[in-house]
């Protein structure tokens, strides 16, 4: 089983408005049998952090191009 993953997610350039105006989110992703990939992270963010306008964050399997400016830091 993969270890817990702790991340600092930082949204800027207006993306923070989709997350109640909060730019930084310290998160710990749940254990899963396979390592996390970016697609799984985006789905997790959409279900657990996103507060409004999901169509501005991700559509289908693709993140909206203006969202790419956010940063992920492992902690």
Give residue for tokens 């306008």.
Answer: 53
* Overall domain count for the chain: 1
Average pLDDT, the chain: 80
| pLDDT one-digit tens code per residue, 37-53 | 888 888 899 999 989 88
- CATH label of the domain that carries residue 16: 3.10.20.30
3-state secondary structure string across the chain = CCCCEEEEEECCCCHHHHHCCCCEEEEEECCCCCCCCHHHHHHHHHHHCCCCCHHHCEECCEECHHHHHCEEEEC
Instruction: Provide the whole-model pTM.
Output: 0.77
Mean pLDDT of 11-25: 89
Half-sphere exposure of 47 (CA within 13 A, CB side): 7
Can you give the residue range of the structural domain that contains 10?
5-74
Share of the chain above pLDDT 70, in %: 76
Q: What sign for the dihedral angle of Cα 31, 64, 54, 25?
A: positive
The tokens describing 10, both together, are 């930082």
Supply the pLDDT for residue 19: 93
Supply the pLDDT for residue 66: 53
Mean pLDDT of 8-25: 89
């Amino acid at each position: 089983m993969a270890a817990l993953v702790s991340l600092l997610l930082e949204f800027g350039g207006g993306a923070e408005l989709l997350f109640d105006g909060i730019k930084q989110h310290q998160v710990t992703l749940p254990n899963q049998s396979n390592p996390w990939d970016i697609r799984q992270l985006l789905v997790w963010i959409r279900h657990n952090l996103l507060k409004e306008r999901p169509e501005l964050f991700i559509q289908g399997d693709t993140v909206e191009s203006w969202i790419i400016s956010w940063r992920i830091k492992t902690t």
